[in-house]
Amino acid sequence: MFKFSTSKEWFEIIKHKDYLYIIRDRLDEIDPRFYTTYTNLYLLIGSHSALLIDTGCGLFPLKPIIDNIILDKTLLVINTHSHFDHICGNYEFNNVMIHKKERRQISKPRDIAFLRDSPKEIIKRYESSGFIVPPVKEIRPVIDNQVIELGNLYVKIIHTPGHSPGSISLLTNKNELFTGDTAHYGMMYLIKATFPIFLSSISKLLELYQKSVNLEIYPSHEEFAVGKDLLVNLSNGVKNIENIWETRKRDNFLEAWVLSDENFKYAVF
């Protein structure tokens, strides 16, 4: 009946490196009104533990896919922030880490009734639960500079607020930088009142290039393994928004102003 009927059909699984898998959730197939094709979930595999970065939309079971990759290693799970497209698979796991500023947002059932009138039939899968996604049982709050050890792999948490108050990026000791929704191509979701906070987070990420020129960026949406240009273009683009503000259009579903330049689309709240 549906184009997708199992987790294996739904998630696109890419073994990008020996220790890095990308599991792509299909936001466009859930609701094209977000102007976003993919949500990228990342799985980092260290010598004794693995770290899952984000849990996606929760439309299909994610845990069996992860278990099948990591086998008997210990699994840790972290959310880059609390927006629905990153956290709705949380309930499948025993505990989830998130920045302390967004702990509260993932502590209760998530109402995703706004998806009810999506043009995609597949969202009927949410009907059995009344468009309410249960929360994770245990939340482990994290803070800026905290390091998660996976054995030979280390992951440092960098607080990068702006897109949301508790948005984090994650930096590995092997030069991968996971930026969550703080920096990605495609449709960037921004809050006008927090532009200065957002821009200082982008500067904070750009400063990392002074210590390592070879960073590869893995955003939570759209293209991955991108370079520093993403951050430079985004910083310039956001600074230029006031100059193109006259070109904005109202999006009634998002309840935001939508604009675009040569690199990005922006939804501004």
Q: Which two tokens stand for residue 255?
A: 């309840």
Distance in Å, CB of 227 to Zn ion, minimum = 21
Residue 158's contacts (CB-CB under 8 Å, 6 or more residues apart) are: 144, 145, 168, 169, 170, 171, 204, 205, 208
Distance in Å, CB of 233 to Zn ion, minimum = 19
The angle at the Cα of 103, spanning 69 to 59, to the nearest 5 degrees, equals: 45
The angle at the Cα of 30, spanning 221 to 45, to the nearest 5 degrees, equals: 45
Distance in Å, CB of 25 to Zn ion, minimum = 10
Nearer to Zn ion, 153 or 230 (CB): 230
Nearer to Zn ion, 191 or 232 (CB): 191
Nearer to Zn ion, 31 or 85 (CB): 85
Residues that bind Zn ion (CB under 5 A): 83, 85, 181
Nearer to Zn ion, 171 or 221 (CB): 221
Nearer to Zn ion, 19 or 38 (CB): 38
Nearer to Zn ion, 29 or 181 (CB): 181
Distance in Å, CB of 84 to Zn ion, minimum = 8
Instruction: Characterize 25-41 residue by residue with b for buried, 16 or more Cβ atoms within 10 angstroms of its Cβ, and e for exposed.
Output: bbbebbbebbbbbbbbb
Q: At what angle do helices 195-207 and 229-240 cross, to 10 degrees?
A: 160
Distance in Å, CB of 165 to Zn ion, minimum = 12
Distance in Å, CB of 167 to Zn ion, minimum = 7
| Order of strands, sheet of 138-142, starting from the edge strand that comes earlier in the sequence | 12-17, 20-26, 38-45, 49-53, 74-78, 95-99, 138-142
Q: Which of 102, 120, 118 is nearest to 110 (CA)?
A: 102
